Amino acid sequence: MAFISGMELVLAAPAKLNLMLGITPQIVDGKHELKTVFTTIDLADTLTFTIDEARARSVTVEVTNAPDITPLDIPTEKNIVYKAVSALEESTGYTLQGHLHIRIDKRIPHEAGLAGGSTDAAATLKALAELWGIDPLSPPVLVAAAKLGADVTFFLHGGCALMGGGGEKLLKRLPKPALDLVLVRPDGGVSTKEAYATFDADPQTMPDYEPLVRLLEGGNATPQAIAGQLANNLAPAATALLPAIRTLTDELSATPGVYKALLTGSGSTVFAVCGSAETTTSIAEAYSARGYWAKSCTT
């Protein structure tokens, strides 16, 4: 059904994990060149879009946070979903007709390496593409996505993919692995800008992404085999900024039933690939009882 005036469009905006993240010291157009394997997970924000074409052009954003999410206190004009509307207008030449209200039910924490803002922006681009009858993967939408942030393009594609450039270039779509995961976030977030600055002061060796890509393309890799190929060379920089990341990674890695624990993105969330859903549930409950933000999830 088309997204039309007076109707609601509800979209899920899933979080992501970096199964592999390799940053290089090389900077092109203000961004570090990198390779990363992204996958979406079933932790998601929910965005509800309502358009009233009888009113003048305007955009309002309403954010409802889950009880375990710390609110982000910023003006509406600085919210990335608000910026997404203007970015797509600029790249397509379309102008929003009427009043667009965007309600975000927030479940993905901020500064967590899960790309909560980027996935919300991608959902907004998809909603406007639906409203204007354009392909959400058409060049103007991809241009807008790249301007909004490196991770936004991936969420237009979704699933699992090898991305390059500054993170905005789709290099290869990959089969999505079936993984039981637990996410645990220590107190405090990590600024992506600060993490990259710390990396620049002490660049780390670029991990080889090809073995993981081959495993995923094979279509029958076990979670344990995939866990063996996880890598993130931005983790030392993030850990230098927030040492609790190292403590948490070591704890999770030593927990029975965990194949491997790794920081996602610039953090601060650590994810663990586990042998069963029961294991992820028990670990999440144990860390929640200790005051951590912790979730059991799957890809």
- Considering the domain architecture, whether residues 62 and 193 belong to the same structural domain is answered as no
| Tokens found for residue 181 | 């995961």
Establish how many alpha carbons lie within 13 A of residue 99's alpha carbon, considering only the half-sphere containing its beta carbon: 8
Q: Would 228 be classed as within a structural domain?
A: yes
Whole-structure pTM value: 0.96
- Considering the domain architecture, whether residues 164 and 186 belong to the same structural domain is answered as no
Domain boundary among 174, 202, 236: 174
Q: Is the pLDDT of residue 133 over 80?
A: yes
Number of domains in the chain: 2
Q: Tell me the residue length of the chain.
A: 299
- Considering the domain architecture, whether residues 166 and 206 belong to the same structural domain is answered as no
Q: Which residue has the tokens 């999440």?
A: 284
- Considering the domain architecture, whether residues 129 and 17 belong to the same structural domain is answered as yes
Backbone angles phi, psi at 27, to 5 degrees: -115, 125
Q: Would 2 be classed as within a structural domain?
A: no
- Considering the domain architecture, whether residues 37 and 165 belong to the same structural domain is answered as yes
Rounded Cα–Cα distance for residues 233 and 119 (Å): 23
- Considering the domain architecture, whether residues 208 and 117 belong to the same structural domain is answered as no
| DSSP SS3 for 60 | strand
How would you label 139-173 residue by residue, b for 16+ Cβ within 10 Å and e otherwise? ebbbbbbbbbbbbbbbbbbbebbbbbbbbbbbeee
- Considering the domain architecture, whether residues 162 and 241 belong to the same structural domain is answered as no
What is the average pLDDT value for the chain, to the nearest integer? 96
Q: Would 3 be classed as within a structural domain?
A: no
Q: By residue range, what is the domain housing residue 205?
A: 180-298
pLDDT, tens only, 232-242: 999 999 999 99
Residue 73's pLDDT is: 87
39 C-beta neighbours (distance < 10 Å), count: 23
292 C-beta neighbours (distance < 10 Å), count: 19
- Considering the domain architecture, whether residues 162 and 52 belong to the same structural domain is answered as yes
pLDDT, tens only, 36-45: 999 999 999 9
Query: Where in the sequence numbering do the catalytic residues fall?
Result: 16, 151
The CA angle 229-162-121, to the nearest 5 degrees, is: 120
pLDDT, tens only, 36-78: 999 999 999 999 999 999 999 999 999 999 999 999 889 999 9
